[in-house]
């Protein structure tokens, strides 16, 4: 039997960073659905949270899983679910892109706290500022302008 434990912090935003997830109640319902759906698809989604225009996930990849496949399954089904149940007035869609970084076992608690602190975190920082911080921390370069 193979044993694999690869942790990934995955972040993705709504199309054009539209604040579709505008209420705390909607976010709670939405993230709970994503967690349940991930479990059905045998995706180990340890933590999920976010704010009006984005989501953070802490995922442990299985031996036959890739970051791109996990992102596709989470984003595709959750968009379908929101639209099927008319949870927002407009058509919900995620941005095609995402950010993903590996997480050391020794940093899991810190990443969990960060993910679950999104409501408070975005009381003082925009998503654009958060993206800029990630880009700086991981040495990534901007491909396009960041919209706050």
Q: Which of 89, 82, 105, 80 lies closest to 7 in space, CA to CA?
A: 105
Residue given tokens 């399954």 in the structure block: 73
Q: Is the pLDDT of residue 118 over 90?
A: no
**Which residue ranges make up each domain of the chain?**
6-138
102 touches 58 (CB < 8 A): no
Q: Which of 48, 4, 7 lies closest to 27 in space, CA to CA?
A: 48
Q: What is the pLDDT of residue 129?
A: 76
Span 44-92, pLDDT tens digits: 999 999 999 999 999 999 999 999 999 999 999 999 999 999 999 999 9
How many C-beta atoms surround the C-beta of residue 69 within 10 A? 13
Note the pTM of the prediction, 2 decimals. 0.84
Q: What is the pLDDT of residue 148?
A: 47
Q: Is the pLDDT of residue 144 over 60?
A: no
Q: What is the CATH number of domain 6-138?
A: 3.30.70.1290
Instruction: Compute the average pLDDT of residues 96-110.
Output: 94
143 falls in which pLDDT band (50, 70, 90)?
low
66 touches 139 (CB < 8 A): no
């Amino acid at each position: 039997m193979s044993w694999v434990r690869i942790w990934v912090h995955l972040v993705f935003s709504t199309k054009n960073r539209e604040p579709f997830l505008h209420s705390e109640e909607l976010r709670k319902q939405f993230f709970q659905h994503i967690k349940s759906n991930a479990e059905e698809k045998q995706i180990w989604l340890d933590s999920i949270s976010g704010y009006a225009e984005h989501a953070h996930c802490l995922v442990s990849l299985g031996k036959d899983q890739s970051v791109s496949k996990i992102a596709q399954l989470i984003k595709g089904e959750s968009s379908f679910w929101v639209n099927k149940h008319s949870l927002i007035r407009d058509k919900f869609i995620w941005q095609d892109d995402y950010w993903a970084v590996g997480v050391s076992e020794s940093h899991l608690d810190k990443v969990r706290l960060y993910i679950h602190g999104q409501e408070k975190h975005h009381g003082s920082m925009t998503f654009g500022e958060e993206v800029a911080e990630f880009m700086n921390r991981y040495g990534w370069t901007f491909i396009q302008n960041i919209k706050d």
